[in-house]
Amino acid sequence: MAKYDEQVARALAGAHNTARVAHGTPDYVRVGAGLGSAFVWALLDLADAIRAHGQAAGGGELERRPPQQPPPPPTEHF
């Protein structure tokens, strides 16, 4: 959980620095900074959802799949 808190703190610090630098810049730079910040938050939310789903599923076990059958041999048609 501490690693997630570190990620959030870094994202907030990055968003603050971006906003500070983008104060006197053109609109497209501020829009780009806002989109970048939204993307980072979306990734953090996705990581949190994956982590929560993995913990609820039983400790990170991988899904067991049945063995795959080999493909049938090629047939030649003349």
**11-67 tens-digit pLDDT:** 777 766 666 665 677 888 888 988 999 999 999 999 989 888 877 655 555 667 778
At 42 the pLDDT is: 92
| Residues 19 and 31 sit within 8 Å (Cβ to Cβ) | no
At 46 the pLDDT is: 92
At 30 the pLDDT is: 83
The dihedral through the CA atoms of 47, 48, 51, 52 has a sign that is: negative
At 77 the pLDDT is: 73
- Distance between CA atoms of residues 14 and 58, nearest Å: 35
Residue 51: CB atoms within 10 A of its CB come to 14
The dihedral through the CA atoms of 33, 34, 37, 42 has a sign that is: negative
Q: With the CA atoms of 23, 27, 31 and 34 taken in that order, what torsion angle do they form, in degrees rounded to the nearest 10?
A: 10
The model scores a pTM over 0.85: no
At 26 the pLDDT is: 82
